[in-house]
Amino acid sequence: MARTRLYLVRHGEQDPASDHAPEGGLSRLGREQADRLGRRLRTVPFSTIHYSPLTRAAQTADVVAGHLPRVPKHACDHAADRTPVPSAERRGLYPDRWHAWLDGVPADERDEDAVALRAAVHHLGVTGDEDRHELLITHNFVIGWFVRHVLDAPDWRWIGLDQANCGITTVQWDSDRPPALLSFNDTGHL
């Protein structure tokens, strides 16, 4: 039975001086969070580190990779910052109380009907001939979408599944059973 275990991690705290700009880097606390995360994960037999192309995720990956020197890392579009929003046809599947908030999602973050996030799950959430462990350094809503998928929850249920900076969520795919949530937002290392 082959298995894939994904460790989903939200990047370290962004520097507040960046005013949440897309290219904002890590704060001093964010670097400390990433260092603690790297120390926590140093014994996991990772095959790769995927990270979002945004600066805060790339910097988190750099710090973590210092504790995993033999593990290759790469910017990965599947880890990019996205907000799944419903199309007009699917809007009714989301509770009314979220519509105004979803309408305000910036155009560059919108992932209509979660097309890109579904592709990310399809690409990363598969088993092969051998067991593998992969680290995905990404963003809050991406992790929420993976958790929603693994739990087979309604599309809108990613909302409210908030992750701490550098918290660890672990999901697993086995070749002979449905995917499973192994841990959610583990912050014991912080």
Task: Write out pLDDT tens, residues 116-131.
Answer: 999 999 999 999 899 9
C-alpha 139/C-alpha 13 separation (Å) is 11
Could you tell me the pTM of the whole model? 0.95
- CATH number for 165: 3.40.50.1240
Strand partners, 6: 134, 171
Residue 13 lies in domain: 3-186
C-alpha 7/C-alpha 48 separation (Å) is 11
Task: Write out pLDDT tens, residues 29-65.
Answer: 999 999 999 999 999 999 999 999 999 999 999 999 9
Domain total in the chain: 1
Question: b/e per residue, 30-65, with b = 16+ CB within 10 A?
Answer: bbbbbbbbbebbeeeebeebbbbebbbbbbbbbbbb
Place of tokens 């995993």: 68
Contact present, 56 and 141 (Cβ < 8 Å): no
Amino acid 80: pLDDT? 96
